[in-house]
Amino acid sequence: MAKKTKSNKRQLILEEAAKLFKARGFGGTSMRDLGAQVGMEAASMYNHINSKDEILEIICFQISDTYISQLAEIEQTATSYVEKIKALIRLHIRLMIEDGAAVSVANNDWKYLTNDKLEAFKQARKNYEKGFAALIEQGIAAGELQPVNASVALFTILSAVRWVELWYRPGRGITAEELEENIITLLLNGLAK
Amino acid sequence: MAKKTKSNKRQLILEEAAKLFKARGFGGTSMRDLGAQVGMEAASMYNHINSKDEILEIICFQISDTYISQLAEIEQTATSYVEKIKALIRLHIRLMIEDGAAVSVANNDWKYLTNDKLEAFKQARKNYEKGFAALIEQGIAAGELQPVNASVALFTILSAVRWVELWYRPGRGITAEELEENIITLLLNGLAK
DNA sequence: CAGGTAAACTAACATTTGTTAGTATATTTA
DNA sequence: TAAATATACTAACAAATGTTAGTTTACCTG
């Protein structure tokens, strides 16, 4: 199969691109930089990908697709709203730990997407946020949550979970599970005694 | 005074640069883009600033200096640790609302600083984080706060406050004060009932 | 009004950018 | 083994980049 071998190098290019984009930003990463990291001339990469923009698109939509499908799954579980929200928080933390580079790129460099891709990504994100906010509102209506502004709660949660990308290293004296429980406790129960 | 007139245009350039950097990123903003926004040829701006890098430096350190001096002030007030932490959260939200473009740049584009400026900025940020974390630890030791991992609490707070830059618009049906109280309540008391 | 300085302009520079063309070398298929 | 395909390379392109040089215009000071 022609596509099979192609996929190997293609995947490598995408992974190294995510790392470099995270470290230096999309604009700060040249195709020659990326080629050096992959072990290939910049021009050679065009046998595997169509453009620099396409690399960014693939990374961003891979992440947004994951979030959206996971949200749909969680919505259909038969648990309390608190549990659903906990599951979403865990999802964010886990994705950040497992695929931190790509998540960072989707969080920070999505704005360099162009035209319809940019619009599609913004729409996808908006849909995800809407679904998440709905869970919070339903949780409030069901009496499980404090009657806060759902948008404020939503964005506080989404942001609170982002710093993991900047901070977490496997050997930092805290496991992924501990981290999850710490953050969930903090967000659901608060810092004050 | 020669410097006086110079400062006017210089300030305008810095302000427009912050807006553009926030919108398109440092790498995504050319000096010609900036010139167009300011109403001047790119080359003309070099009568007021020394380089594109310098613009970024000024924006970033203006913000980090503000945080550091405010932290020092808050540390010396005679209040509880909870109140000190609340004051810091309010500071972050207020700065974001009042000078959102510059704060965004300091948050997102600092990595494009070069050499010693980059190191100095990272050091300044680390010092600020250390001071903030110390307040949390002392608050825990004093029995005012839950015994959580101070780093986790610190970064959760710092991040939770960032989304304001992406979301807050003066006419969004919520005042700056309401926003502050919502976020503080959420972080200190939690979302769950 | 004269002289000097500040601040704008145009033109051009050297690099760096993403990308393409053309070509050579592996690797797979028949 | 022969033909075909995939994949790498070198060289080069056009465009965009930050910046400098040189010049002209506006403005303040004496």
Q: Write out pLDDT tens, residues B89-113.
A: 999 999 998 999 999 999 999 999 9
| Residues of chain A neighbouring B150 (CB-CB closer than 8 A) | none
State which residue of chain A sits closest to B184, comparing Cα positions. Answer: A190
Q: Is the pLDDT of residue A5 over 90?
A: no
> Which residue lies nearest C5, CA-to-C1' measured?
B2
Confidence at B7, pLDDT banded by 50, 70, 90: low
Which nucleotides of chain D does any protein CB come within 7 A of?
5-12, 16-22
- Rounded Cα distance between B106 and B58, Å, is 10
Q: Is the pLDDT of residue B123 over 80?
A: yes
Q: What does the pLDDT look like over A110-123, one tens digit per residue?
A: 999 988 999 999 99
Q: Is the pLDDT of residue A1 over 50?
A: no
CA B134 from centroid of its chain's CA atoms = 20
> CA–C1' span, B139 to D26, in Å?
61
- Rounded Cα distance between A18 and B107, Å, is 20
Q: How many CA atoms lie within 13 A of A158 on its CB side?
A: 23
Of A26, A151, A156, the CB nearest to B160: A156
**Nearest nucleotide (CA of B1 to C1'):** D28
pLDDT, greater one: B102 or A167: B102
> CA–C1' span, B25 to D20, in Å?
25
Q: Is the pLDDT of residue A139 over 90?
A: yes
Residues of chain A with CATH 1.10.10.60: 1-49
Distance set, CA A106 to CA A38, A64, A102 (Å): 21, 8, 6
Mean pLDDT of A12-29: 93
Domain made up of A57-189: CATH architecture: Orthogonal Bundle (1.10)
Average pLDDT, chain B: 89
Helix (H, G, I), strand (E, B) or coil at B185: helix
Q: Distance from A36 to chain B by nearest Cα, in Å? A: 20
Q: Is the pLDDT of residue B6 over 50?
A: no
Q: Tell me, which fold does domain B1-49 have in CATH? A: Arc Repressor Mutant, subunit A (1.10.10)
The partner residues of B178 in beta bridges, in order of sequence, read none
Residues of chain B with CATH 1.10.357.10: 54-189
B186 and A27 in contact by Cβ < 8 A? no
Residue A149: partners with Cβ closer than 8 Å, 6 or more residues away:
B174, B182
Mean pLDDT of A81-88: 94
Q: What does the pLDDT look like over B63-85, one tens digit per residue?
A: 999 999 999 999 999 999 999 99
Mutation site, B103, B152, B182, interface A, largest A CB count within 10 A? B152
Residues A188 and A86: beta-carbon distance below 8 Å: yes
Q: Return the residue matching tokens 């540390």.
A: B75
Mean pLDDT of A47-57: 94
The interface residues of chain A toward chain B in range 80-139, judged by CB-CB distance below 8 A, are 82, 85, 108, 111-112, 136
Q: Is the pLDDT of residue B131 over 90?
A: yes
> CA–C1' span, A115 to C20, in Å?
23
Q: Distance from B34 to chain A by nearest Cα, in Å? A: 17
Taking only Cα atoms into account, the Rg of chain B, rounded to an integer number of angstroms, comes to 19
B145 and A192 in contact by Cβ < 8 A? yes
Question: SS3 string of A34-91?
Answer: HHHHHCCCHHHHHHCCCCHHHHHHHHHHHHHHHHHHHHHHHHCCCCCHHHHHHHHHHH
Residues A38 and A80: beta-carbon distance below 8 Å: no
A186 and B151 in contact by Cβ < 8 A? no
**Nearest nucleotide (CA of B38 to C1'):** C8
User: Residues A47-55: contacts with CB within 8 Å, 24+ apart?
Assistant: A47/A6, A48/A6, A48/A9, A48/A10, A48/A13, A49/A10, A49/A13, A49/A14, A53/A113, A53/A114, A53/A117, A55/A13, A55/A14, A55/A17
Which nucleotides of chain C does any protein CB come within 7 A of?
5-12, 16-22, 27-29
| Residues of chain B neighbouring A111 (CB-CB closer than 8 A) | 23-25, 28
B153 and A191 in contact by Cβ < 8 A? yes
Q: Is the pLDDT of residue A126 over 70?
A: yes
Q: Tell me, which fold does domain B54-189 have in CATH? A: Tetracycline Repressor; domain 2 (1.10.357)
Q: Is the pLDDT of residue B22 over 90?
A: yes
A146 and B185 in contact by Cβ < 8 A? yes
Cβ B51 to strand D below 7 Å: yes
Residues B105 and B169: beta-carbon distance below 8 Å: no
Mean pLDDT of A165-174: 79
Of B23, B148, B190, the CB nearest to A188: B190
Q: Return the residue matching tokens 């981290």.
A: A179
Mean pLDDT of B12-31: 93
Mean pLDDT of A32-52: 93
Mean pLDDT of B133-145: 94
